Structure 1
């Protein structure tokens, strides 16, 4: 049930584990596979029993021989359906951050969830891509998001749980008819299935047909992208969604957002956002926001970025003799060993000025702008300083005059920075715009 859905490059499985019956069955099936398995429980803090649920998940993991990593969400803004959507977006951000290279995140969505999702989207006036329903698999974070139970009815999962004496928790909020999805689940769908017993299977076929047609359309749109960045799913040239044919332009932008692993905004928000991105003056950098991502324009390109942007790391001391270090969650830094020590990594100070070899002293941000460094990286790239806080090198700019005086033989090496990919911003790792 699980292994046929996995990419051949899979290195391990990470189960999104809420403690409910669906994810409990998924975890039980995952431990029977041939892959290393671990679980992540997201502690939302939205329910009075959240701590008890986290303890239950840890105990279940112990019984199954699986480590359970509990990750807390600090704050979620919204109410009603908006709170539910915000919590879902934040949950996927946390789960994405937990993935390591080529791991597969498994979620326990099943056939009943698919039917419910399709009805809900239909009633909200979704477009063709929305009728594709829940996606069975997609690139996600550092690996993949896989939903191996999507063709399995909930009743079959409950029977598996009872047959294997599994224990789970029930979230009482799932019974509240105040939520639209719960109303569909408890009132509408039972009536439909009483009249049309195979409605669930028919909805699954509809979703498959819609995904196939949308996939063909997306392939045609990708072929129409003019920029070299298209080959590696990079930033989108503004010109690629500004042809003057509005349906085509909206479809291009929607496809590119999906290719980044995000859910596109609704039709109205997409149209308004695209117009703002395309029509703003050349010296402006407009932004369009989604639940877990933002699109910013810079130098004729659109970039999919995490929302909110990652925090700027605090200054960190460099161990004596080291020539590389982590720059918080943002990436890895390396520098010439000849610079010696002791050294520190820190972000540039506001208004800080440096002198590059053979040039006059200038503000770092001005030099970044000249080099084409994107605005959101300009206060996040690391600088290497000595014990007196003298700047020796800056990522993206190289050694300063002081750095060259300290290590003349290292002039050509500079400070190398390799950004870490983001689970919620496909173009986060681009430090500058692609060549035109």
Structure 2
């Protein structure tokens, strides 16, 4: 821990530091993301100074349980909040990822941290994070070295959505040296994270080796990189506006983009529109190495082909003249599941149940749920002919990736079972409408994304 000295008599926080912390959007509750380090400890004291009288300030400490001093850091955060009269929530998380890879564990810790924050805060809350100008410069340079486009080079935004809350970074306009000077004048103590000096991590290598050399050569580097980030941010805002206009012009839907409309755009605008679409759906924008080949495969492959591009959490596929954005789904049961009267069954993104509508007069036959295995046939009317399920699904336009996940509901003993429902697309009149078999109605519902 780095101890602080006693503040001088008559110490007052400077208005320059207080202003961005005081002038915040309206909010229900104000949370400070407290790591115990210099920056977040300073931000905690500023928030308590500027908003403490309102009783709205709270703190969140995410304990990643990765460092030997993790317990000591948590104890420090508890003590600091107790002295300031600020309620503290501690969330311990388990970080998955390749610990042998610096970038791997860094990214895994970041994802765990933000997921925990999002789960804890509520609608209308503000979450303050203590990123400063040095962090911004480091982020811009790091993303440049990773080959990011203008969205990445825009750096960290001053504010953004965090679930139903809003994340705000009020200290981005200050350099770390300035914050440390005021922390020492104020007599603050803080905990140094030992991992921050480990140069196996890419960000630490930039922070301790590369950036000091660049600053020696080019004084005012933070200011230069901040201007770069601002310019890229403006370009990205224009890109988003263009994509939204083109989306509307070519008739985009939530999960589909007309291929013919996309073909009318230049490659750069196709890429921009697809990236915007993915972000609007809540995914990270895809960054394939060869966009031209990806676009060519998706838009111009022969009609009998089923091109696919997989990205983080979703895939892009083509079907019946549309480019489709398909979220990744969890695994399905690998064996049939019995559906008992009055009990519900979760099946991937589906839920199924048998509801009692009248007093049952007789027992139900066995009801089982499974997916397509091939060769299934369906009889839409009791006295009608049976039809191939595969051909019917093709006729009604169900995409191949959804056909494989549809819950099929069978009634009867194994070997003589009859198909009585196909997802929420069709249900036998014996289990729906006014003719409920044995007094039970089958309800099949699909979750919305």
Q: 1:199 aligns with which of 211, 216, 221?
A: 221
For residues 410 and 30 of structure 2, the distance between their equivalents in structure 1, rounded to whole angstroms, comes to 41
Q: Displacement, 1:278?
A: 1.9
Residue pair 1:96, 1:141 contacting (<8 A) in 2 also: no
Root mean square deviation, CA, Å: 5.1
Q: Displacement, 1:13?
A: 6.7
Does residue 415 (structure 1) correspond to residue 437 (structure 2)? The answer is no
Counterparts in 2 of 1:97 and 1:275: CA distance versus 1, 3 Å: farther
Q: Identify the residue that residue 219 of structure 1 maps to in structure 2.
A: 241
Residue pair 1:287, 1:294 contacting (<8 A) in 2 also: yes
Does residue 133 (structure 1) correspond to residue 155 (structure 2)? The answer is yes
Q: Identify the residue that residue 300 of structure 2 maps to in structure 1.
A: 279
Q: 2:274 aligns with which of 253, 260, 269?
A: 253
Does residue 70 (structure 1) correspond to residue 89 (structure 2)? The answer is no
Residue pair 1:355, 1:362 contacting (<8 A) in 2 also: yes
Q: Identify the residue that residue 135 of structure 2 maps to in structure 1.
A: 113
Secondary structure, counterpart of 2:88 in structure 1: coil
Residue pair 1:16, 1:105 contacting (<8 A) in 2 also: no
Q: Identify the residue that residue 397 of structure 1 maps to in structure 2.
A: 425
Residue pair 2:340, 2:367 contacting (<8 A) in 1 also: no
Counterparts in 2 of 1:388 and 1:140: CA distance versus 1, 3 Å: farther
Q: 2:70 aligns with which of 33, 46, 53?
A: 53
Counterparts in 2 of 1:74 and 1:128: CA distance versus 1, 3 Å: closer
Counterparts in 2 of 1:255 and 1:92: CA distance versus 1, 3 Å: farther
- TM-score, normalized by length of structure 1? 0.68
Q: Identify the residue that residue 289 of structure 2 maps to in structure 1.
A: 268
Structure 1: where are the runs of 5+ without partners?
420-428, 430-436
Q: Displacement, 1:170?
A: 0.5
Greater mean deviation of Cα atoms: 257-266 or 205-214: 257-266
Residue pair 1:287, 1:296 contacting (<8 A) in 2 also: yes
Q: Identify the residue that residue 299 of structure 1 maps to in structure 2.
A: 320
Does residue 338 (structure 1) correspond to residue 357 (structure 2)? The answer is yes
Does residue 406 (structure 1) correspond to residue 436 (structure 2)? The answer is yes
Q: Displacement, 1:409?
A: 9.8
Counterparts in 2 of 1:68 and 1:332: CA distance versus 1, 3 Å: farther
Q: Displacement, 1:327?
A: 4.2
Counterparts in 2 of 1:392 and 1:143: CA distance versus 1, 3 Å: farther
Greater mean deviation of Cα atoms: 200-209 or 133-142: 133-142
Residue pair 1:313, 1:347 contacting (<8 A) in 2 also: no
Q: Identify the residue that residue 433 of structure 1 maps to in structure 2.
A: none
Aligned residues: 406
Residue pair 2:151, 2:236 contacting (<8 A) in 1 also: yes
Secondary structure, counterpart of 2:289 in structure 1: helix
For residues 85 and 34 of structure 1, the distance between their equivalents in structure 2, rounded to whole angstroms, comes to 34
